[in-house]
Amino acid sequence: MSGTVRLPSPFQLVSLDSVDSTNEEAKRRAEQGAADGTVVWSLSQSEGRGRRGATWVSEPGNLYCSILLRPHYPAPEAMRISYVAAVAIADALSAILPKSTYVTCKWPNDILIDGRKAAGILMESSSTGSGKLDWLVVGMGVNISHYPENTDFPATSLTREGVERVTPEDMLETLCNRFQCWLVTWRNLGFAPVRRAWLERAHGLGEAVTVRLPQETLEGLFETLDADGALILRQNDGSRRIAAGEVYFQSQKN
């Protein structure tokens, strides 16, 4: 399987037919000393996960992969790599979708095609005693041939959107190439250009949103991202900074 996939340096591919979760396998390998740039890819997952423990349907035909990084940055800075992954996925999808298709990034970690979820990101990490990360696993899933139905947020797949003859291998190559380009940009130029690219694709920017937090639910306008990647929610009495939460848009499709 690995002979059909060519990844840019310094990525090294670990290809599997099945696994419990590519994130779990990447984490295991991280603890065993696997190198920065290890890419775990599997045709299927038996225990795929999304954010907050949500099940990620993982039948063969879609892309399931996790990239192991050893960024050696403080955790808050390294976690901005989620935006690196988001713009990379958005670029990869836009490259193969019809030109009229609208690809957007939904805060904090989903990628949409015409308002329907087509890909997601799950990041997990381990810190050193100094507060810097020992390793960071960036899990990414892309709906290629199928997608879950009856979900809280509507989903779609590349096949449903009219893309034919794209394999998980094709998507893995394209995605890793785009991820490497944006990762180099982030390392050399900082978060600003990544933030700018994300905002150019931001879903619902300037629109009314509902943000669900563990202890409260807020409403306001999605104003922008701040310099650290937090969502700025504009309310009647001022703006509020939100580092983590679930966003719902009044304009989302059902």
CATH number at residue 242: 2.30.30
Please, are residues 111 and 49 in contact by the beta-carbon 8 Å criterion? no
Strand order in the sheet with 116-127: 12-19, 38-45, 63-69, 133-142, 116-127, 110-113, 103-106
CB atoms near residue 141 (< 10 Å): 25
Q: Examine residue 131 and state whether it is found in any structural domain, yes or no.
A: yes
Q: Which of 234, 230, 232, 233 has its CA nearest to residue 244?
A: 230
Q: Examine residue 185 and state whether it is found in any structural domain, yes or no.
A: yes
Q: Examine residue 51 and state whether it is found in any structural domain, yes or no.
A: yes
Q: Which of 201, 252, 193, 218 has its CA nearest to residue 241?
A: 218
71/54 same-domain check: yes
Mean pLDDT by 10 residues, the chain (254 residues): 76 95 96 97 82 64 96 89 98 93 94 96 88 93 91 89 92 97 96 97 94 92 95 93 88 48
pLDDT of residue 52: 52
Q: Examine residue 254 and state whether it is found in any structural domain, yes or no.
A: no
74/104 same-domain check: yes
Please provide the size of the chain in residues: 254
102/219 same-domain check: no
128/244 same-domain check: no
**Both structure tokens of 57:** 């349907």
CB atoms near residue 50 (< 10 Å): 17
Tokens 């955790």 found at: 75
pLDDT of residue 251: 58
